[in-house]
């Protein structure tokens, strides 16, 4: 079996950027996409804060551009999902859902995060029947209908505003009495006459009508404990994200599901690097993920150069300060 120089796991902004840099460095990288090509960007309607696009850019277009630029310099793309990794021996082993096994000298982990669930009755059963985690993907199905948005951060408000293009009314349900979203988004939301707000309230269950699709949410006011049913055609949930790190459990140092890195994107295993939201729950932006993908790729390049005339054990010992 041939040994890869570098395998990149994940096709979000961090992964494609790592592909761009490592392919331009002539490392012939292999990028394994995972189930969502483009990661969270593919779920986003419009991005206004990524430099170089003064008029904003749709998530779909940005993903296309990231992929094209990475492929232009030779990044090989595999449409597969990594199911198992073994970092205990070098070269490392990576196994995928479709049965491939790879050996590789270095790895860049960029598996990002996925939306958190409310974990209330009705949520799982009604996903795809009125419950959604992506306004861009599903907003169109709610033309002329009324929907609720659960959450109060940037994603919730941004997606809520987007949903007003389709829905006649978008009601934001938030457990506190003020939003966490940036001031500019708050201003736009408060000025949008299709948007309404229910404060200090949490959803207890999502309920179906006779047709098997969502027709109401049961709400509880956390200050008064009052419980009520609120009629709605759709429930959009934006309450944060969980890191996609389960396959690395026991292989690397992790905290709360996030891969731990130093400021150079090195994980606890020399030769394994991580970038983007899998190691960053603070900045969580396209621009910061792109920056971290760049750093991880440049460090992987340096690591591979060291390996050219030294053993893995020697390079690893030096990196761990032994």
Interface positions with ligand FAD (CB under 6 A): 9-15, 32-36, 39-41, 43-44, 47, 49-50, 81-82, 110-113, 155, 158-159, 244, 247, 276-277, 284-287, 289
Which residue's CB is nearer to ligand FAD, number 156 or number 307?
Answer: 156
Question: Mapped to the 3 state alphabet, what secondary structure does 253-317 carry?
Answer: CEECCEECCCCCCECCCCCEEECHHHCCCCCCCHHHHHHHHHHHHHHHHHHHHHHCCCCHHHHHH
Tokens of 292: 């971290």
One of 55, 80, 86, 137 is an active-site residue; which one?
137
Which residue's CB is nearer to ligand FAD, number 39 or number 139?
Answer: 39
163, 139 Cβ separation under 8 angstroms: yes
CB atoms within 10 A of CB 71: 16
Considering the complex, what minimum distance in angstroms separates the CB of residue 2 from ligand FAD? 20
Considering the complex, what minimum distance in angstroms separates the CB of residue 247 from ligand FAD? 5
Considering the complex, what minimum distance in angstroms separates the CB of residue 21 from ligand FAD? 14
Considering the complex, what minimum distance in angstroms separates the CB of residue 88 from ligand FAD? 18
Considering the complex, what minimum distance in angstroms separates the CB of residue 173 from ligand FAD? 17
Which residue's CB is nearer to ligand FAD, number 111 or number 216?
Answer: 111
Strand pairing report for 92-96 and 101-109:
antiparallel
Considering the complex, what minimum distance in angstroms separates the CB of residue 36 from ligand FAD? 4
One of 134, 154, 233, 280 is an active-site residue; which one?
134
Which residue's CB is nearer to ligand FAD, number 236 or number 303?
Answer: 236
Residue keyed to tokens 């299709």: 194
Tokens of 265: 């994107």
Which residue's CB is nearer to ligand FAD, number 213 or number 287?
Answer: 287
Strand pairing report for 101-109 and 272-274:
parallel
Query: Annotated catalytic, 86?
Result: no
**Torsion sign across C-alpha atoms 54, 56, 59, 60:** negative
Instruction: Kindly report whether the peptide bond that precedes residue 140 is cis, defined as omega within 30 degrees of 0.
Output: no
Considering the complex, what minimum distance in angstroms separates the CB of residue 160 from ligand FAD? 11
Rounded distance, CA 27 to CA 4, Å? 9
Helix (H, G, I), strand (E, B) or coil at 275: coil
Rounded distance, CA 219 to CA 130, Å? 17
Query: Annotated catalytic, 137?
Result: yes
Which residue's CB is nearer to ligand FAD, number 74 or number 153?
Answer: 153
DSSP assignment string, 240-268: -EEE--GGGTTTS-EETTEEP--TTSB-S
Query: Annotated catalytic, 225?
Result: no
Which residue's CB is nearer to ligand FAD, number 190 or number 283?
Answer: 283
- Degrees to nearest 5, angle at CA 170 with 242 and 134: 30
One of 86, 138, 253, 256 is an active-site residue; which one?
138
DSSP assignment string, 147-201: EEEE--SHHHHHHHHHHTTT-SEEEEE-SSSS--S-HHHHHHHHH-TTEEEE-SE
Would you name the residues annotated as active-site residues? 134, 137-138
């Amino acid at each position: 079996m041939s040994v890869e120089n570098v395998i990149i796991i994940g096709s979000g902004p961090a992964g494609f950027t790592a592909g761009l840099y490592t392919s331009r460095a002539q490392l012939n990288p292999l990028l394994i996409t995972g189930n969502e090509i483009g990661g969270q960007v593919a779920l986003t309607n419009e991005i206004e804060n990524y430099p170089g696009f003064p008029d904003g850019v749709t998530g779909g277009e940005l993903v296309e551009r990231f992929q094209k630029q990475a492929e232009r310099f030779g990044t090989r793309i595999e449409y597969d999902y990594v199911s198992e990794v073994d970092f205990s021996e070098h070269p490392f082993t990576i196994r995928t859902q479709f049965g491939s096994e790879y050996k590789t000298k270095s790895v860049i982990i960029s598996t990002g995060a996925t939306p958190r669930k409310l974990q209330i009755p009705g949520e799982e059963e009604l996903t795809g029947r009125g419950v959604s985690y992506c306004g861009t993907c599903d907003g169109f199905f709610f033309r002329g209908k009324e929907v609720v948005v659960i959450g109060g951060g940037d994603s919730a408000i941004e997606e809520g505003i987007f949903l007003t293009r389709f829905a006649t009314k978008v009601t934001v349900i938030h457990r506190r009495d003020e939003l966490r979203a940036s001031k500019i988004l708050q201003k736009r939301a408060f000025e949008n006459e299709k948007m309404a707000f229910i404060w200090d309230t949490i959803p207890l269950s999502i309920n179906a009508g006779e047709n098997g699709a969502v027709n109401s949410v049961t709400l509880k006011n956390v200050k008064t404990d009052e419980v009520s049913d609120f009629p709605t055609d759709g429930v959009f949930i934006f309450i944060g994200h969980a890191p996609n790190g389960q396959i690395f459990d026991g292989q690397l140092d992790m905290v709360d599901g996030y891969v731990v890195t130093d400021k150079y994107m090195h994980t606890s295993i020399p030769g394994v690097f991580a970038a983007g939201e899998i190691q960053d729950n603070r900045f969580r932006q396209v621009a910061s993920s792109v920056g971290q993908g760049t750093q991880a790729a440049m460090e992987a390049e340096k690591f591979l150069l060291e390996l050219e005339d030294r053993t893995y054990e020697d390079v690893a010992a030096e990196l761990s300060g032994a």
